[in-house]
Chain A
C-alpha cells in the first residue's frame, strides 16, 4: 500500500515541478521532450527501440513465412489444407496427413499427460510436506530441461523396442478387432510419438497447475475443513475453483506438444499417411520440416514446406493466446 501512495505522490510532485518549469521556460526542445534531462529521453527511446524490435519480430516472422510460401498458396489454394497427397516426386503437396498426425499425436499425449500431470500438481500443492515438495518440484522441472533430442535418443533405443516387444503385441492380443491397433507392431509410430510427447509435456502441465492451485486462497480450504470435509473433498473444491486456470495449463501443454519436433521425428516413423491405427507410422508438421527441408529440390517444394511452418505458427499462436487468457483470468480473480 505504502509503495502505491508513495509512487502517486511522487508523480504528483514531479508533475507539479514539470509544469512550473514549463511555464518559466519556453524552450522548444524542452517542450517536446517534456522533461529537462536529455539522458532520460535517450534512455527511454533506446529501450523503447528494443521493445519495438520484439514487437515487430512476431509480425515479421509471420510476414516472412507468408511471403515465402506464395508459390504453393497460388498452386494449391485451400486444397493445401484438405488434400491427402504429399508426393515430392510428382510435386503435389497437401498438408492434411501432417495436420492429422500433429493433432492425433498431441491428443494421445494429452490422454496420458492430463490425469498424471494434474495428480502430480495436486500432490505437490495439497499433500506433499515441504521437505518432499521442493525436491519433487525440482525433479519435474529437471524433466522439462532435458533437450528434446535426448528424449528422442532414449525413445529410439529404449522406448521403441519396449513398445514393439511388449506393449503393442499386448494391445493386439487384448483388442484383436479394434481398428486402432491394426498393422505390424513396428514400435515406431503414432503410439511412440504420443508416449514420448506425454513425458515431455507432463512437467509443463504439472508445474503450471501447481502454481494455479497454490494461488487459491487458503481460506477456501479452511472453510471446507471447518465443514468437516476430508482432504480429497477439499481438493475437489480447490480444483473446481481453479478449473479455468487448469484448462489453461492443459492447453499450454497441448501447444508444446503440437510444436515439439526432434523427439517426435525420431520415433514417429515419418510416413505421410492417414490411418486409424495408432501402431502405424505417421508424420507431423514439425517432423516433415525437420526431415525434408534440406532435401527440398524445387521452389514449389520449399514454398510448401514454409507454408507448413506458417500453419504450425498460426495453430500454436491461437493455442497460446487462448491459454494465456485463461491463466491470467484466474490470477486476476484471486487478486
Chain B
C-alpha cells in the first residue's frame, strides 16, 4: 500500500464512522420530542387527574373542582357516530376491492382512497359543514360524526383489503370445491378468517378519529353542558384542549393538560386492544 492509497483508505474509514454516527444521533434526536411531550403531559396532567375529572361538568373560571365528563362522553359519542357510518362503508368497499377489484375501477377506487387519506382533516370539516350544518342550520354531533366517518373510511378500506389478501387462496378454493356459492365463501370463510386484521384497522381508524380536533371545531362545535342529543352541539376532549390552552387562566391551562393525558390514555387503550388482537394471529 503506498502513501496515497493509505490516505484514501483512512479517509473512507473516517467518512464511514462520521456518517453512521450522524445517523445514530439523528435517531436519538427524533425521540427527544416524544419523551418531552410524554413527560409534560404526564407531569402537568396529573394535577387535575382525579375522580372529579371523570364525573363532574366543567366549572366557571376560578371555581375549583369540576371535570370534563361531558367531553369524555362527547368524544365517545362522536367516534361512535363516525364508526357507525365509516365502519360499514369501509369494510364493504374494502371487500369489493379485494374480491372484485382487479379491474380499472378497482384500481381507481384504491387510488382515490389513498388521495382521501391525504386530504387535510380541516377540509373534511368544511365539507361536513356544507353537507350537514348548513341544511340543519345549526351545529350538531351528527355533523362531527360525519366528518370523522369520512376520515376513517380510507384507513378501514385499505386495511380490510390488505387483510383479506392475506387469507390463503386455498381456503377459498376449499369452500368453492364444496359447492358453496362465492358470496357465502367470501363472508363465512374469507371474512371470518380475516376479521381480526379488519378489527385492527377499525380500531386504528377509531383511535385516529378520537384525536381529531380540526374537523370538529365547526361541526360538533363544543358544549359546556351535559348533552347526549346527536342533533345538538356536543363537547369533545380535543376541542376543550384547544380552547383551554389558549385561555389566559392557569387552572384552565392545567385542565387542558389533564384532558390531553386522558385523551392519550383513551387512544392507548384502543391501541392496546389492537395489540392484544393482533398478537394472537397475524404476526407477519
A: residues with CB less than 8 A from B are 3, 6-7, 10, 37, 39-40, 42-44, 46-51, 53-55, 57-58, 61, 64-65, 68, 115-117, 119-120, 122-124, 127-128, 136, 139-140, 142-143, 145-154, 156-158, 199, 202-203, 206, 230-233, 235, 252, 255-256, 258-262, 266, 286, 289-290, 293-294, 305-306, 309, 312-313, 316-317, 319-321, 324
B: residues with CB less than 8 A from A are 12-13, 15-16, 19-20, 22-24, 26-27, 29-31, 33-34, 36-37, 40-41, 44, 88-89, 92-93, 95-97, 99-101, 105-106, 108-109, 111-116, 118-127, 129-131, 134, 150, 153, 157, 169, 173, 176, 181-184, 186-187, 207-208, 210-214, 217-218, 221, 238, 241-242, 245-246, 253, 256-257, 260, 263-264, 267, 271
The main secondary structure of chain B at its interface with chain A is helix
Q: CB-CB < 8 A to B260: which residues of A?
A: 149-150, 153
Contact B24 A127 (CB under 8 A): yes
What would 24 A/B residue contacts be, using CB atoms closer than 8 Å?
A: A47-B99, A51-B106, A53-B93, A54-B93, A57-B150, A58-B115, A58-B116, A61-B123, A61-B124, A65-B123, A117-B30, A120-B30, A127-B20, A127-B23, A146-B34, A148-B214, A149-B242, A152-B245, A157-B40, A157-B245, A206-B30, A255-B118, A286-B214, A294-B217
Q: CB-CB < 8 A to A305: which residues of B?
A: 126
| Chain B CB within 10 A, most for which of A6, A37, A54, A312 | A54
Select one of A3, A51, A324 contacting B96, CB under 8 A. A51
Contact B16 A51 (CB under 8 A): no
Select one of B22, B26, B127, B245 contacting A64, CB under 8 A. B127
Q: CB-CB < 8 A to A258: which residues of B?
A: 120
Q: CB-CB < 8 A to B89: which residues of A?
A: 50, 53-54
**Nearest-CB distance from B79 to chain A (Å)?**
13
A256 to B119, CA, bound (A): 8
Complex A-B, nearest 10 residue pairs according to Cβ-Cβ distance, in ascending order: A259-B120, A147-B211, A43-B183, A50-B92, A47-B96, A320-B118, A119-B26, A261-B214, A230-B16, A309-B126
Contact A43 B214 (CB under 8 A): no
A65 to B20, CA, bound (A): 48
Contact B207 A145 (CB under 8 A): yes
A324 to B108, CA, bound (A): 13
A259 to B117, CA, bound (A): 12
Q: CB-CB < 8 A to A39: which residues of B?
A: 181, 183-184
B117 nearest in chain A by CB position:
A320
Q: CB-CB < 8 A to A266: which residues of B?
A: 242, 245-246
A206 nearest in chain B by CB position:
B30
A286 nearest in chain B by CB position:
B122
Select one of A124, A158, A252, A316 contacting B40, CB under 8 A. A158
A116 to B16, CA, bound (A): 18
Select one of A261, A306, A317 contacting B121, CB under 8 A. A261
Contact B120 A51 (CB under 8 A): no
Select one of B22, B122, B150, B207 contacting A261, CB under 8 A. B122
Contact A262 B214 (CB under 8 A): yes
Contact B182 A37 (CB under 8 A): yes
Select one of B19, B101, B241 contacting A149, CB under 8 A. B241
Q: CB-CB < 8 A to A53: which residues of B?
A: 89, 93
A43 nearest in chain B by CB position:
B183
Contact A143 B16 (CB under 8 A): no
Q: CB-CB < 8 A to A61: which residues of B?
A: 119, 123-124, 127, 150
Select one of A48, A128, A147, A206 contacting B100, CB under 8 A. A48
A146 to B96, CA, bound (A): 32
Contact B214 A6 (CB under 8 A): no
| Chain B CB within 10 A, most for which of A154, A255, A258 | A154
Q: CB-CB < 8 A to B124: which residues of A?
A: 61
| Chain A CB within 10 A, most for which of B26, B101, B169, B208 | B26
